[in-house]
Structure 1
Amino acid sequence: MNNIQEKNNDLYNEILTLTKKLVSIPSVNSTGEGEREIAAYIETYLRAFPYFEKHPDQIIIQNLKNDKLGRYNVFALIKGEKSISQDTILLHGHIDTVGVDDYGLLSKFAFNAEKLMEKLSELDLSDEVRADLNSGDYLFGRGACDMKSGDAVFLVLAKWFSKRVNEFSGNILLSFNPVEENLHTGMIDGLEVLTELKEKEGLNYLFAINNDYICPLYPNDKTRYVYTGAVGKLLPCFYINGKETHVGQCFEGFDASMVAAELIRIINLNCDFCDEYRNEYTLPPSVLKIKDLKMSYNVQTAVSAFIYFNYFVHNTSMQDIINKLTAAAKQALNNVQSNINEQYKAFCKISGIDYQPFEYELQVLTYDELYTTAQNKYDGDISKILDDILADCLADNTDKREIPLKMTQKLFDIAGIKNPSAVLFFAAPYCPHNTIHEEKPQQNALYTKLKNTINEFTIISGEKYEIKQFFQSLSDSSYLTIDDDDASIDSLLKNFPAFSILHPVPLKKIKNLAIPAINYGCFGKDAHKWTERVYMPYSFGVLPNLIEYTIKKFLIF
């Protein structure tokens, strides 16, 4: 066995062992204890490196701000000593997972990879899952794919590089963050450390590599995808106000629930809303919440309703998105009015009643327009009213989507609007979109060198690689750089109630850091499903070599 094979076998076995250990720590998002435990384990693992025994101050622990669960980030800086260089590559990964309810009766085994696979072998599985389980090439378990295997790869490679600091110039910075699976506050708070290190150490961030999972895009897809950016995400919300009526006079009202349903019909899974950039398309919007706002049962139709959507973005400006969404709301209101009159006309015909159509002055506003309207109608301090609502809701731990709804409702009342209306606003989370722009001269050099690196490694490894611009699964990479211009950001902030409190993304800090965000990732299947699994031959055997090859290409060896 040659030295390269021995090295690869040693790395493979250590990554496998470490992945199983990380999986065994139940770091389910928002439960606290597990997220603290896995961070503590990673810190202990790093401090055992001889390099960090010599440089203990280069491990940085950052407690998350105002985090009631006591979660924290772990950073570690490895400085190359071959020659002086400030060039730095960031390796970052999240350490939390989604829950395990999807495992059902197997939930108690979800964090024990070996035991889980034993239990799975006894079940009636699909042909694909059965084949993968029997192959011995896949490791099952919550977080095995998303993304504790990716963390393990980084940690084992960090140990390897820390023993060879005299062979390279520049720096390798590791970042392990909780809270990725919902609000991304680990990475968002971590931007402070990235900024401080940039200023204190003079670091020049070349790019970041995320190791979040990659997966087949179609059946039997063996392509290993490299993503040069991250999809953006918005949460557009609609407050809908109608006109209530008794069910005994049902045609005399304007049911807000009908508008909500019609708006969902227009927007949900509608590919006309897919955002295209250089022939890559986002997935269409998906409805995530719909409810009327009646507090209890009665025979009155719903006067108000609330809905929100997941909305992916590649490149479209915020104003264009707002225009498209408000146009959909206008269409929904008009369609409901037409439907009411069509059905009333049919009822009048069968009942022998004279038909007179109902006519309403329909209205669609953005939050910014509603605020201005309310301000013009009110002599007092509107900001004080909204601040009080915000404070009360935060004290009651109100959901972060419901707080801007309550603020919108209050403004609507102050504005005195009585006709059927819809108000568009945005709520958390917001994920900026970004990519490395091949067509822009200042980014072309990085893109070209990365592309050449991948092409060279394709020949070395025999794997099939394809570079794509946007990682479609939401990730912390969104918060490292932002492609939205100032006008788009301004449009977002004007229509995002209490942004600085409810979702304090430091947009200026992201703009200043501007770290290009790449995703390599372990290859696996069924993330967020009870059949989640990582493909070990690639993830533990090939991927570490790709990361090593990339680092060597960009840091002077």
Structure 2
Amino acid sequence: MASLSPDSLSKAPPNNALEWTLEMVRIPSVTGSSAEGQFAALMRQKLARVSYFRQNPQDLWCERTENDPLERENLFALVRGSGKRVVILAGHFDVVSTGNYGLLEGLAFDPYPLLEALLKTLKGSDNPADRQALEDFESGAFLPGRGILDMKSGLASGIVALERFAQLVDRVGNLLLVATPDEEHGSKGMRSAISTLARLKAREGLEFVAALNLDATADSGDGTAGRTIYTGSVGKLLPTALFIGRPTHAGYPFDGVNPHLMAAEFTREVESNPAYSSVADAPGLAGMLAPAPTCLEQTDLRDGYEVTTPRLTWVAFNVMLMRSEAAKVLARFKRAAGQALERALALEQARFEEFEDRAGRPVRPLPYKPRLLEYAELEKRALEQAGPEAVQAAKTQVEAESTDPLCYARQLTLELVNLANLSGPAAVVGFAPVYYPVALLGQDLKSKRLLKVCQEAAIRVESEFGQSISFRPFFEGISDMSFLAPLEGTNDSPTLSLNMPGWGTRWNVDYQGAELLGVPTVNVGPWGREYHQRLERVQTDYAFRILPELVWRLALGALE
């Protein structure tokens, strides 16, 4: 495969995808960092060098994300032509942290020095992943760096399309680049951008005919799976369970109930269990299975050592969705939590009986009756026990203190448990923010037309570059497509509004704005390997030569 370096750019087609990628990668925009907060303004300065924006500075602007204590900004760059039709080019600019680079962390945002260092450090390693990476780097076909794959090279292809469109004399339609922060955390950028886009559409009478999300794909092979146009994106829920035990001195374990045992039974039941996987039911996709759920967090909420057993254990799971089914997910996880309570207490009773028998003492039943509540039931109980003022005060305090969605849900659930005077053994099940709806191309005319444009562009690119472009229905890494595309089902809202802390406030989604946009969306981005890892790398020929051409043709085709 062809490789690209700064010295070989003159041999490449006339685009600046590599230069734009390197400029963006060098900004260390880790989610939550000051650099993430500065990124939009820095890129606005860089894009202002483009001739169109020198002449039309009003079409290049930044807007603060809504209800964001970190005061981050979205970047909008609009190149206008004739008519009201608009294609959106969307991507996020935040990246995950760099601690896993170890001694090379200082080079994480400098791809070519990092490449040289990795070529040295990977030699002699017997780790299969290291050997694969070394082979990739020695081939000249891959370039490393934090965010180079996820997803600044994708964003660069959108910028290149914007530049090329600006150079046309008779432009038909309009191209709008939307670059957002916080995708790796809670998608606050895109959730805020939806409101901006809805206002822009209403103010100027624009018609958003398509959106191209430019997120990356992982491929451990030759790129056949990576060179893909996705016509939808999985959704995501974060089911949670707070297990409440009865603390006791560690020397007298049977005088209490340890919530870790209940949580362990819960995790054992749910972790990687395909019975809890979402199954698609859309026409032509019925039976497709989402990735199995996995535990993201399990903690006893204590900061230091105590000889007392914990009172609480919190568990949060990641659940990918292939259809709208929040109520069913809640029911499944509530059932699992109930089974965990029963199994844990039965096991506790059996071990207590064995212990008493060995000690020569008479056996007695442990006096525990477990309780199982949904978050909505917990809030109702807290209102009854403590009153609305106390509940609202708890919500206000937690919202002021928490910027992390899991932390927010955990802390508010704990506060309500205290206000409700809920004692263990018990469990409270609910959801943590943020909810990502399932996104799918529909059967409407705009969606069918976008699919046809994608198919035609793929055929042309295959013919010219000799590399296949495949189609898949679901982008499985979750993405901002969930907020751009027509929602596969907003009927999840009643369940979520009652059982997700923060719904309707900081973690809200502008569903009315999203429905107003009604923009068919596909994902087309770079491919590479090991994103979020120290060996994150992008396949250069596709990212910097083929992808910009594919994005360009998709954008033009959608505007016709």
Q: TM-score, normalised by structure 2?
A: 0.89
Match of 1:540 in 2: 544
**Unpaired segments ≥5 residues, structure 1:** 1-5
Matched residue, 2:397: 392
CA offsets 1:147-204 (integer angstroms, 9 cap, x no match): 11112222122111111150x4221111111222212112122122211221122221
SS at match of 1:302: coil
Q: Deviations over 1:42-78 (max 9, x none)?
A: 2223222222233222222212335454432221112
Quickly say closer, same or farther: Cα 1:39–1:413, change in 2 above 3 A.
Answer: closer
**Residue 257 of structure 1 is aligned with which of 238, 243, 260?**
260
- Sort the Cα spacing of 1:413 and 1:17 in 2 relative to 1 into closer, same or farther, 3 A: closer
For 1:293 and 1:417, how far apart are their aligned partners in 2? Answer: 17
The 3 A distance-change label for structure 1 pair 158 and 284 is same
d(CA) in 2 for partners of 1:551, 1:410:
49
Aligned twin of 1:124: 122
* Aligned twin of 2:78: 77
Q: Please say if 1:174 is aligned against 2:177.
A: yes
Alignment correspondent of 1:313: 321
Shift of 1:214: 1.6
- Match for 2:332 among 309, 324, 334? 324
Q: Structure 1 residues 371 and 76 mapped into 2: Cα distance closer, same or farther (>3 Å)?
A: same
Letter in 2 for 1:535: Q
Residue 309 of structure 1 aligns to a residue whose secondary structure is strand
Task: Measure the CA separation in 2 of the matches of 1:370 and 1:36.
Answer: 37
> Which residue identity lines up with residue 277 of structure 2 in the other structure?
C
Aligned equivalent of 1:27: 29
State yes or no: 1:339 paired with 2:347: yes
Partner Cα distance (2:43, 2:446) in 1: 36
Distance (Å, rounded) in 2 between the aligned partners of 1:501 and 1:289: 23
Aligned to 1:289, which of 278, 281, 297? 297
Find the partner of 2:435 among 427, 430, 437: 430
Change beyond 3 A, Cα 1:60–1:301:
same
**1:454 CA displacement:** 2.9
Q: C-alpha distance in 2, partners of 1:398/1:452? A: 44
| Deviation larger for 286-295 or 103-112 | 286-295
1:479 aligns with 2:517: no
Please name the residue that 1:239 is paired with: 242
- Measured in 2, the distance between the counterparts of 1:147 and 1:255 equals 43
1:17 pairs with 16, 19, 23, which one?
A: 19
Mapped to 2, the partners of 1:76 and 1:295 lie a distance apart of 46
Name the Cα RMSD after superposition: 2.6
SS in 1 for 2:535: coil
Match of 1:381 among 366, 387, 396: 387
Distance of 1:147 and 1:295 partners within structure 2: 36
Q: CA deviation at 1:535?
A: 1.0
Whether 1:502 aligns to 2:506 is yes
Point out the more displaced range, 356-365 or 18-27: 356-365
Question: Which residue identity lines up with residue 160 of structure 1 in the other structure?
Answer: R
Cα distance in 1, alignment partners of residues 64 and 190 from structure 2: 12
Name the aligned partner's letter for residue 55 of structure 1.
N
Q: 1:419 to 1:527 in 2, by over 3 A?
A: closer
Aligned residues: 541
Shift in CA distance, 446/43, structure 1 to aligned 2, threshold 3 Å: same
Match of 1:49 in 2: 50
TM-score by length of 1: 0.90
Partner of 1:518: 522
Query: Is residue 91 of structure 2 the alignment partner of residue 93 of structure 1?
Result: yes
Question: Contact 1:285/1:310 (CA < 8 Å) preserved in 2?
Answer: yes
Give 1:107's match in structure 2, choosing from 101, 105, 108.
Answer: 105
CA separation in 1, counterparts of 2:48 and 2:157?
17
Q: Which residue of 1 aligns with 2:473?
A: 469
CA distance in 1, matches of 2:344, 2:269: 12
- Is the 1:386–1:407 contact (alpha carbons within 8 Å) kept by the matching residues of 2? no
Question: Does the 8 Å CA contact 1:233/1:313 hold for their aligned counterparts?
Answer: yes
Q: After superposition, what is the alpha-carbon deviation per residue over 1:460-481, rounded to whole angstroms, capped at 9, x for unaligned?
A: 4332222112211232222113
Q: 303-312 or 398-407, which moves further after superposition? A: 398-407
Alignment check: 8 A CA contact 2:223 2:527 kept: no
Tell me how far 1:110 sits from its aligned partner: 1.3
2:398–2:408: 8 Å Cα contact kept in structure 1?
Answer: yes
Distance 1:201 1:147, change over 3 A: same
Letter matched to residue 23 of structure 2: K
Determine the C-alpha separation between the residues in 2 that align with 1:69 and 1:237: 26
Judge which range, 403-412 or 469-478, deviates more: 403-412
Q: Which residue of 1 aligns with 2:3?
A: none
CA gap of 1:486–1:111, structure 2 versus 1, over 3 A, is closer
Tell me, in whole angstroms, the C-alpha distance in 2 between the residues paired with 1:136 and 1:469: 32
- Please report how far the alpha carbon of residue 319 of structure 1 lies from its aligned counterpart in structure 2 after TM superposition: 0.7
Residue identity matched to 1:114: Y
The structure-2 alpha-carbon separation of the partners of 1:255 and 1:233, relative to structure 1 and needing over 3 Å to count, comes to same
Maintained 8 Å contact 1:282/1:313: yes
Mapped contact 2:382–2:391 kept (Cα < 8 A): no
Aligned-pair CA distance for 1:270? 1.5
Call closer, same or farther: CA 1:405–1:549 in 2, change over 3 Å. closer
* Structure 1, 205-214 or 417-426: larger mean CA deviation: 417-426
Measured at CA, do residues 340 and 130 of structure 1 come closer, stay the same or move farther in structure 2, by a change above 3 Å? same
Contact in 2 for aligned 1:400/1:502 (Cα 8 Å): no
Aligned to 1:369: 377
Segments of 4+ moved more than 6 angstroms = none
Partner SS for 1:542 = helix
Amino acid paired to 2:64:
N
- Go from structure 1 to structure 2 and tell me whether the alpha carbon gap of 1:546 and 1:402 turns closer, same or farther (over 3 Å shift): closer
Shift of 1:448: 4.4
**Equivalent residue, structure 2, for 1:3:** none
Counterpart of 2:4 in structure 1 is none
* Superposition deviation, residue 260 in structure 1: 1.0
Residue 61 of structure 2 is matched in structure 1 by 60
Q: After TM superposition, give the deviation of residue 14 of structure 1 in Å.
A: 2.2
Distance in 1 (alpha carbons) for counterparts of 2:307 and 2:143: 55
**Letter matched to residue 236 of structure 2:** K
Contact 1:317 1:484 in 2 (8 A): no
Partner Cα distance (1:504, 1:270) in 2: 30
Instruction: Establish whether residue 195 from structure 1 lines up as the match of residue 216 from structure 2.
Output: no
Over residues 203-243 of structure 1, what are the superposed CA-to-partner deviations in whole Å (9 max), with x where a residue is unaligned? 21122111111221x54453312111222122222111123
Q: CA deviation at 1:120?
A: 1.3
Structure 1 residues 419 and 80: CA distance shift in structure 2, 3 A: same
